Amino acid sequence: MIDPDRFHRRAERLNALLRERLGVRGRDLEARLRRAGRALPRRYRRAGAEIAATSRRMDHPRLARLHDPARLEAAFDDLTAYLRHIDPAERRRQAVLSVLAVIFVNLMLVGLALWAILRWRGLA
């Protein structure tokens, strides 16, 4: 059987990691995991879904016994290790570089189209 106090402590730590590392907002762990969406790879989304499902059933004594403690521990360990690996500053830097790259490519395409139109009209 899963110890409810230990489960809730680990869930709170996971909740804090989601807020710190991914910057996801939400009122509870389930909402934050839902908002994280594709920021988490599929494997970790599944681990988060398992943790969220257990969290909903943790207050009911009979339902709390239905979950496999080993799988739940593995889900916590995997998701926590992945979130600790993420560097928030690097994520922001990558996001800014990505936006700048898109702007640069779009400006190049607009410039190329303008040059082609001027050349076609005989003005360049």
Q: Tell me what pLDDT residue 62 has.
A: 85
Q: Tell me what pLDDT residue 57 has.
A: 87
Residues of the chain with pLDDT under 70: none
Q: Tell me what pLDDT residue 46 has.
A: 95
Q: Tell me what pLDDT residue 40 has.
A: 94
C-alpha span between 3 and 58 (Å, rounded): 9
Q: Tell me what pLDDT residue 63 has.
A: 84
Give buried/exposed letters for 70-88 (b at 16+ CB in 10 A, else e): eebeebbeebbebbeeeee
C-alpha span between 69 and 88 (Å, rounded): 31
pTM: 0.79
Domain extent listing, the chain: 1-86, 88-124
Q: Tell me what pLDDT residue 123 has.
A: 86
